[in-house]
Amino acid sequence: ADRSQPLGLSYAQQRQWFLWQLDPESTAYTIPAALRLSGSLDIAALEHSFSALIARHETLRTTFRQQGEQAVQIIHAPLALTLMVESVPAGQTLEACVQQEMQRPFDLEKGPLLRVR
């Protein structure tokens, strides 16, 4: 299929799109993960690794939109990921920050469908 043009949705994607339109704030289909890394962090290497992952998997760079009567998917070109490095705010725990991040919904129309912090 020509990836430069919007494509039709699979049945699973149609279902996901329908459910998201009913409740765009839902995180029911979000797959959260948190990792605790020890030692020094090579931010450039981690960014490169995630950028390679995004380039390999179209689903991580796909957005959806309504086009007339039909929902379509748009597969975007790979972009380099910029890692957001943040300190835990005073008065909060790391666990609370992780839980808060895991409750943030994704916007299927805007993407990206992956967040790394």
Contact in structure between 73 and 62 (CB atoms under 8 Å): yes
Q: In which band, very low, low, confident or very high, does the pLDDT at 109 lie, cut at 50, 70 and 90? A: very high
Burial (CB count <10 Å: 0-12, 13-18, 19+), residue 108: buried
Q: Is the predicted pLDDT of residue 12 greater than 90, yes or no?
A: yes
pLDDT in tens, 46-102: 999 999 999 999 999 999 999 999 999 999 999 999 998 888 889 999 899 999 999
Q: Does domain 7-102 have CATH number 3.30.559.10?
A: yes
In sequence order, what E strands does 14-115 have? 62-67, 70-75
Q: Is pTM beyond 0.75 here?
A: yes
The pLDDT of residue 108 is: 97
Nearest to 59 by CA among 112, 7, 115: 112
